[in-house]
Structure 1
Amino acid sequence: MRTLFPFAAIVGQDQMTLALTIAAVDPGIGGVLVFGDRGTGKSTAVRALAAVLPEIEAADCPYHCDPARPDEACETCRGPKRGRKQKRTGTIRVTVPVVDLPLGATEDRIAGSLDLERALSAGEKRFEPGLLAKAHRGFLYIDEINLLEDHLVDLLLDVAASGENVVEREGLSVRHPARFVLIGSGNPEEGELRPQLLDRFGLSVEVKTPQDLKTRIEVVKRRDAFERDPAGFTARYETDTSAIREAILRARRRLDHVAVPDETLEKAAQLSIRLGTDGLRGEITLMRAARAFAALKGDGAVVWAHLAALAPLALSHRLRRDPLDEAGSATRVERAVGELAAA
């Protein structure tokens, strides 16, 4: 198996690694969009995330259902008829999947289709799960997501909204759980993302090429050391990798106990109003992300400092275009944060 660059060794992209870590603490935040310059470690960071994710308990079924949520179980766990009491399929410990969705993937490859080999050899109709099934309870990564074909975007939007994949073709009628954290990356110079899909991402990060000389040198040195000796380089960061994994586990355990005071919610709403964001999804996401951030830091309540740190990630991609303001969206959010803090 190919050795991946360690997540703990990534340098110079703190906002990106923070957003991915927060999504690992609270997958319900809604995924992460990483847009920016080529060669800045976007794909490297996402694929490295798998090594720091704690294992999960799963049903011993094709979709690794969550034993704690029988209402979302697949037909294997429920039995032949939907609504029946969940069967005991046994539980196992599995690694959290991080699945790549290639741009050239067909709808059958993504959603699943008839197992042709089984149909031809045994005359039996059996469902062959696709990438959505493999990504259930994990992460689905799409590089160059802004180049994804429209009909595949529609499919992802439907599944992301319902948490369930429905396949009805070739005499098959199958539905299975498909809840995943969507991670997208791309270069904005190659095209914009459809607004419907953009709004589905909880956090957005604008990645730029580091301009600090020491940082650039360190990035080159670490990459060179990894390519010369992948196993040895990865071993040097094993302690740091374990520390990140333990931090995610502790934050997950603390998450439900982190308080969100009314005055903090009021600040989040004021910030969204000041920025003119559409709907309430922005401040809901900001609140959840700030709570996950507080859990990571070991704090018992969400305060203004947590909101201020996460506001550019949660709100920058939800702003309307302002032709009179040439500043980037992240800059506009930071400016609004400063104005609200001074008010």
Structure 2
Amino acid sequence: MPLFRRRSDEDAPEGRSGRWGLGFGRRTASGATARGTVEPVLDQALGDEELRLMLAQAAAGDWVALGPALAAVEDATELTRILIALSEVGGVEAWTDRAVAAEPGDALPLLLSGARHVSWAWEARTRARAAHVTEEQWKLFHQRLETAEEQLFEVAEREPSWLAPWYFLQISARGASLGRDVARYRFEAALRRHPGHLASHKQRLQQLCAKWGGSHDQMHEFARASMLAAPEGSPLGELVALAHLERWLDLADGEDHAYLTSPAVRAELHEAARRSVLHPAYPRPRGWQSAYNTFAMAFSLADERETAHTLFEALDGAVTDSPWDYLAGDPVANFRAHRDRCAR
């Protein structure tokens, strides 16, 4: 069925989703469908007007305005979240060198440059599977990752308490195939600075995926152990749903649907949702829409339509690229199709 058709191997999501394991979207009131529901929309700012302004400043190369705005962000996870979004803005690499030269004592422009070079590296590599990446694309990929590594390590040395460089260094380590020990060290370095950092846990989950040299068993064990070690209401329950989607993605047609609809997987999805997004203590941090999209897609594919409907209703049209880009076609269209099939 088209509704469940995954991307082909040639267009599999090793790019954006394999890089970040994150997605962006926003709540919108841009219009309603014939069903009376809000029309789904993607927006990198997730309805955050401060972030929207920063994205515009980054696109314009306005470091004079963007620099003080970033410096005012005191929370380490919030700064990392913003930098993830800024790193996706095309053209940032064209002006960050000037910002670094103008303020050599400030680690922030160097951090933004390093983060952008990680994203820019994956743009050179493209979303394709490794076998379909050209020699020139690989060359650019590794050149940009090398620059990212140099800059991010310099930031880490200058600002040893900062979380953000260690988050991005996890991604560059995976791209550069630096090995399991390096990947684990960088993940642990991030957790020493923020033990419950969801985004870093997502990067570790990616590292443990079979497609990146891990295994399904390692991936599932990590996801479940992380969830159970955290208090109920923790965002880390999303890891369990992501792991099941990664396993689903790796299965042959027919086997994938049977896997997600199996009683054991359905039970684990419900347990993870009850311990995270559906728990009364779940904080709905900024960017919470990403977790809701993850669970909504997983429950829809698992034919658990009632629970999926609850999540779609809470999202109110807020779409994130990931995990909908695991399906063939446009993420907004995929979101809409699954939301509509789960409507009461």
TM-score bracket for the superposition, by shorter chain length: under 0.3
Larger Cα-atom Rg: 1
* Greater fraction of residues in strand: 1
